[in-house]
A and B are shown apart, each in its own frame.
Chain A
Amino acid sequence: MNIPRTVDESLSAIKKWEPHIHAFVEVFEDVSVRQDGQLKGLPIAIKENIATTIGYTNASSKILKEYVSPFNATVVQKLLDAGAVVVGKTQQDEFGMGSSTENNGLPPQTKNPWDITRVAGGSSGGSAAAVASGEVFAALGTDTGGSVRQPSAMCGVVGVKPTYGRVSRHGLLAYGSSLDQPGVITRTVRDSALMLEIIAGKDPLDATSTREKVGAYSTSCGQPIAGIKIGIPKEFFAEGIDPEIKKIVQEAIYSLEEQGAIVQEISLPLTPAAIAAYYLIAKAEASSNLARFDGLRYEGSKTNTETLIDYTKKIRGEGFGPEVKRAILMGTYALSSGYVEAWYGQASRVRTLIRKEYEKAFHDVDVIAGPVSPEAAFVFGSKSSDPLAMYLADAYTVPVSVAGLPAMSVPCGMTKNSLPVGLQIIAPHFQEERMFRVASAYEDAHDFKNRTPELPK
């Protein structure tokens, strides 16, 4: 297993891989080596939308191109305090809006290490690609509607989205504040458990982080799963899923029966409604969150306009990319007087129904399992001209986000085209231990963690 454990190993892997995959926006070559703390100098990467005092924090947006954060995000500070070394900042879709990292507002274009003609997924595509290629031990991403789980599935690595409130959002450039959670990406389930233990917990700087006790995620790994009930939502295997993905994921879930798990079909009828509910809420919150970017403090533009309002409109019109502008327009529309009840209000009420639907499902099963994405990594450009198609592909990750539940992606097979497939494991609120237990049981019984992409010629 070529997982780098020192800065030197990391930088030499970065030198080999970066010309092919461009996972990083910035690499910090002169970082000091460390051997202290729980992580003893392990090299990690941080997504561009998470504040670090080293390098830029621009969420891959032109409007924040040269912004340097005066503070570290709580998640970053916790990892530094534990002895991690940040070797670079990774590429993403601008402000996290996208599912392929093709909506990056600043270069370069991240590619999938398994096939460089394909996307790495998104929005944390750079973080997933950096871990998959063995450039870093672990990476931080952010997951609003699947942005950690989906690129992890497409790059064949482990990606964890914690319960909403489990991890501090302080220092994240906000997209949808009621949905955003920082998440970890690693090669193994145990490494993810370790990383989550370090970053989880109450933070006085994030009022939505909770005092709920941080679980013993590492010790949950490897515990037997005999008797654990796993629900398979039939709606996750309905129309729209690639038959090859369906087969691989179903076989993966049923293989857990060999370890004594009880697999049963369940129904989550609101699954198709979750896409509309999710996007209406996320874009509404985004339009509000992004209202703060006026280009006055971080850009120092020499643009000459007569009035302040003209200046703001010009800077925002030029500084945001197409998907971000679309989000602001959609969100402003969904919140505008006369429409707010029909769109945002309805989405919020449907959100309550979706949460209840999951609560009810968890009366009968301990975890829920299914695919992460209806398809494997796709070819560049095949969807970027059709935003709706891109949204619809988030069908299995957004319901979980709307419900605020923890979920993770674990590699569970390869397609005929040698592209990784991810298995999604979903747990009740703050029951991440259950999720790690099942994920590690799956990982231990299979060999996917040892499969790595080959360096492109």
Chain B
Amino acid sequence: MSDIKKIVSEAEVSKIADLARLRLSKDEIAGAASTISQIFGNFQTIRSIDTTGVAAADDVSGLKNVTREDVVQENMLTSPEVLLQKANSKNGHVQVPGVFSLPEIL
């Protein structure tokens, strides 16, 4: 188990959660570290498959450069009622908390 534990540590889960903008409790972090390590431990089998010279499957549909015709679209959903829904809004814009915390002096 100690080997498996090493795949994703609690510190790593904490860092990933931060990157993914998820606030997790201590219990959630511990649980995730153990479950994800177990899952990735099982998934390690694919790392032994020889993929030398194999291209990644980035083009699932086989389509390239799909564009629409350059014509004006009618009935676009652009009204504030549609876009704001239940948002806290002001003057037709979404109202959000500050991006930075403000120093006392302001």
In this complex, how many residues of chain B approach chain A with their Cβ under 8 Å: the count is 52
Known: A272-B45, A298-B85. A308 touches B16 (CB 8 A): no
B46 interface neighbour in A208, A308, A347, Cβ under 8 Å: A347
Q: Which residues of B contact A77 (CB under 8 A)?
A: none
When the two chains form their complex, are residues A313 and B46 in contact, meaning their CB atoms are under 8 A apart? no
The reply to whether B46 and A352 form a contact with Cβ atoms under 8 Å apart is no
In the complex, the answer to whether B23 meets A313 with C-beta atoms within 8 Å is: yes
- Let me know if B87 and A300 touch, CB within 8 A: yes
* Residue contact A204 to B35, C-beta cutoff 8 Å: no
User: How far, in angstroms, from A419 to B66 measured CA to CA in the complex?
Assistant: 45
Task: Decide: A307 and B54 in contact? CB cutoff 8 A.
Answer: no
Across the interface, do B56 and A306 meet the contact criterion of CB distance under 8 Å?
Answer: no
**Is B56's CB under 8 angstroms from A345's CB?**
yes
Contact of B55 with A by CB under 8 A = yes
Contact of B35 among A275, A297, A387 (CB under 8 A): A387
CA distance A164 to B61 in the complex (A): 7
Distance in Å: Cβ of B46 to nearest Cβ of chain A: 4
Q: Given A164-B60, A333-B36, A349-B54, are A316 and B23 also a contact pair (CB < 8 Å)?
A: yes
Number of residues on chain A facing chain B (CB within 8 A): 69
A415 adjacent to chain B (CB < 8 Å): no
Does B94 sit at the interface, judged by CB under 8 A? Answer: yes
Q: Are A297 and B94 in contact (CB under 8 A)?
A: yes
| A329 with B36: CB separation less than 8 A | yes
A-B contact pairs, 27 of them (CB 8 A): A66-B86, A164-B61, A207-B63, A273-B45, A280-B43, A296-B96, A297-B85, A298-B86, A298-B87, A305-B97, A306-B97, A306-B98, A307-B101, A308-B97, A311-B97, A318-B23, A322-B28, A325-B22, A329-B13, A332-B16, A349-B56, A349-B57, A351-B57, A352-B54, A352-B55, A353-B49, A388-B39
